[in-house]
Amino acid sequence: MLEVKNLDVAYGHAKVLHDVSFDIEKGQMAFFIGRNGAGKTTLLKTIMGLLKAQNGSITYQRNEISGISPEELYLQGMRYVGQEKKVFSNLTVRENIEIAAYASREPLDQALEKVTAIYPKLKSFLEMRAGQLSGGQRQILLVGRALVGDPKLLLIDEPTQGLAAVVIEEVGKILSGLKDRVSAVIVEQNLAIVKQLADRVYILKEGKVARGITEKSEISDTQKLEAYL
Ligand SMILES: Nc1ncnc2c1ncn2[C@@H]1O[C@H](COP(=O)(O)OP(=O)(O)O)[C@@H](O)[C@H]1O
Ligand SMILES: [Mg+2]
């Protein structure tokens, strides 16, 4: 459902992604791991149309999408959850969900139902300002909000970064509940989560795909993966 081919991306003259190719099939979760600065965030932003590639192609649901705006891709079911865990802090949790309902043209009650289904505790936070949520709750709100509308491909950047161990487990469970419902490309440094959820693992090293691992047994071999971080 997503095929990235020979992608080159640069910031000005600084080339960051070199000839990146990978693909995922419908319902799969692909994980990208790699050191800081490897280009993981740049890759997700490019797929979402937030950055322009110099070369290469991105095919989403059989269509070439280079040059298509993030807003249009959103309407086509693509969702980007950035690394910054940015919610609308001054708005309530309910209003944060309302914005997604409006943007995706989904009825509000249905949107609220969807988001709270993944984390029922959010029901008691609906009137709270999103800025008052803990980091974990904020992340869960962001993932929930990405499910509003008819999402087909989630692009999630380091969902468990900076979260406490119990919350990481919670986020892992939520992501696991999404398996088969949507396709996803997830950047994640927590190898326990990767092992638990990944259908494919891609290792990004200095802007290049150093390896693609599709064998479950190899994905389970944490030591092997650790060597790349
Ligand atoms: N807005 C930007 N302008 C210039 N260089 C950038 C910008 N964003 C990221 N970079 C550089 O691109 C490289 C890849 O960054 P990034 O995609 O954020 O890596 P990762 O997410 O793997 O840590 C890094 O060398 C980083 O310094
Ligand atoms: Mg990053």
Domain boundaries, the chain: 2-85+151-226
Distance between Cα 40 and ligand 2 center (Å): 5
pLDDT < 70 positions in the chain: none
Q: Which two tokens stand for residue 42?
A: 């740049």
Residue nearest atom 10 in ligand 1 by C-alpha distance: 11
Q: Which two tokens stand for residue 46?
A: 């490019």
Residue nearest atom 13 in ligand 1 by C-alpha distance: 37
Residue nearest atom 25 in ligand 1 by C-alpha distance: 37
Distance CA 182, CA 7 (A): 24
Q: Which atom of ligand 1 is nearest to the CA of 45?
A: 17
Integer-rounded Cα radius of gyration of the chain: 17
Q: Which atom of ligand 1 is nearest to the CA of 204?
A: 22
Q: Tokens 């071999």: give the residue.
A: 221
Q: Which two tokens stand for residue 89?
A: 């802090």
Ligand 1: residues with CB < 6 A are 11, 14, 16, 34, 36-42
CA angle 153, 214, 22 (to 5 degrees): 50
Please tell me the pTM assigned to this model: 0.96
* pLDDT at res. 130: 97
Distance between Cα 177 and ligand 2 center (Å): 24
Distance CA 225, CA 204 (A): 12
Distance between Cα 44 and ligand 1 center (Å): 12
With DSSP H G I counted as helix, E B as strand and the rest as coil, what are the percentages for the chain, rounded to 5? 40, 30, 35
Calculate the dihedral angle through the C-alpha atoms of 189, 195, 197, 202, rounding to the nearest 10 degrees: 60
Distance between Cα 206 and ligand 2 center (Å): 13
Q: Tokens 């950035």: give the residue.
A: 82
Backbone angles phi, psi at 83, to 5 degrees: -70, -25
* pLDDT at res. 158: 98
Q: Strands of 63-64's sheet, edge to edge?
A: 14-24, 2-11, 55-60, 63-64
Q: Cβ–Cβ contacts within 10 Å for residue 176, how many?
A: 12
CATH topology of domain 2-85+151-226: Rossmann fold (3.40.50)
